[in-house]
Copies of this chain bind each other. A is one copy, B any other.
Amino acid sequence: MHAVDLIRKKRDGEELTRQEIQFLAHGAATETIPEEQLAAWLMAAFLRGLSLTEVDALTTAMKLSGEVFDPSSLGRFAVDKHSTGGVGDKTSFLIAPIAAAAGLVVPMISGRALGHTGGTLDKLESIPGYRTQLSLKEMEQVLSKVGASIVGQTKNLVPADRVLYALRDRTSTVESPYLICASIMSKKLAAGLNGLVLDVKTGSGAFLRRKKDALFLAALMVETGERAGTSTAALLTNMNQPLGRMAGNWIEVQESLDLLTGKRHPLNEDLRELSLLLAGWMIYLGGASDTAETGRDRAEEILDSGRALEILTEMVKLHGGNTSIFEEPEKFHSPAFRKDFLADRSGYLAQVDCTQVGWAVQRLGAGRERAGEPVSAHAGLEMHVKLGHKIVAGEPLCTLFSDNDSRFLESETLLRQALLIADEPTPAEPLIQEIITAENKKEYLESAHRP
């Protein structure tokens, strides 16, 4: 088999066989196919698209390019949630312990902040001592004790994706639904999941802003998960403003702890509700409830009982984290500078360019522009208003936190463009826009535009 022939085949719009896809994924992982050939194939795949069988074959081949996690010895069904990335999205800290409390295990392999989006690992590392780099063996031990473990990708997990993702970044082949699906699903399926719920963001803060693109990706991932034997569902959710009140690192953990300890706030009811819905789907897909709705009710019981907080606290300890930060956060995190961002007119918060808000958070020091850059644990932004709220000129729309006050100016400029105050409120959009399951995925796949 020669890479040049497989490139030609995809170039001419033909379907590659499973063996051919495997040859390419193996060649990527072992670096035996040169990058210029992988790049040409990626561009051909971007422009010609992949068939469902090719996406399935690529996902499986990438998954099997490295080590995989086998949760079967734990004696409980494994479930997880994956989000396509947003601003202020800290549902993982609620969901993982809730699903664990429902009798499931959650081997959650998470990512880092990049561009305008935050990263679960960076948020967790704001807890002193928390180790995100566990081996699969260590993760298994945490799971056996507490049912949930949130870790980073190990070096040997899905090495084909490491090579292909870096290459896509350099060759403008990132935004292909087929390649995004294979990248996400290969990593998720490598954790040996029985059930997976996908939180596919749409709207101004999402990577895929157009609803039809997000829907197609969601359906493609559900199809691919189901083909691999993992019960999969996707929620298409609104990312037209930050989720909850906080966007940053430690402040997002803190907001999650508030909800885990029963402290509710009108500005983060969206976060609480989305977390319960996603946890409900995890409980249902993991076989611990009869429907997603009864799963949500079970999730709420667990949250209210304080059991989820106990599990998260225990998980943090098992990862080496110092949980005294939960009681005395000011001893650990006290950003050197804080500044209110004030409304320059009265009216209603009518529109939020949530990607710009995410970049404002990045500029404060909480995110990174390029992989590998350090992030600040303290930096971030607290929203004081939500879409549709009435605003009086001069009142604070949000409060900015940073270790460096020279960073405020750029963030304020971004926020001034991002937060639109108008005379009339715009109608509220539902938090959950669509639910894509094994039953209805076909219609979304068929109605999709293909490149």
Chain A positions 165-199 with a Cβ under 8 Å from a chain B Cβ: 167, 169-173
Residues of B contacting A36 in the complex (Cβ-Cβ under 8 angstroms): 35-36, 38-39, 167, 170-171
Residue of B nearest to A43 (CB): B43
| CB-contact partner of A47 in B44, B171, B172, under 8 A | B44
Tell me if B37 and A40 are in contact (CB < 8 A): no
Q: Name A4's contact: one of B34, B35, B47, B170 (CB within 8 Å).
A: B170
Count the copies: 2
Interface status of A106 (Cβ within 8 A of chain B): no
Complex contacts, A172 vs chain B, CB 8 Å: 4-5, 7-8, 11, 40
Indicate with 1 or 0, residue by residue over A3-18, a CB within 8 angstroms of chain B CB atoms.
0110110010000000
Check A47–B11 contact: CB distance below 8 A: yes
User: Is A341 part of the binding interface, using a Cβ–Cβ cutoff of 8 Å?
Assistant: no
Q: CB of A338 within 8 A of chain B?
A: no
Q: Once the chains bind, are B40 and A173 in contact (CB under 8 Å)?
A: yes
B42/A171 in contact, CB under 8 A: no
Measured between beta carbons, the chain B residues less than 8 angstroms from A44 are 43, 47
Query: Given B4, B11, B35, B169, which contacts A43 in the complex, CB threshold below 8 Å?
Result: B11
Contacts of A7 in B (CB 8 A): 43, 171-172
Q: Is the CB of A170 within 8 A of B47?
A: no
A184 to B173, CA, bound (A): 29
Q: Tell which of A35, A36, A42 has the most Cβ of chain B within 10 Å.
A: A36
Bound: A169/B40 CA distance, A: 11
Q: Does A46 contact B (CB under 8 A)?
A: yes
Complex Cα distance, B46 from A46, in Å, reads: 13
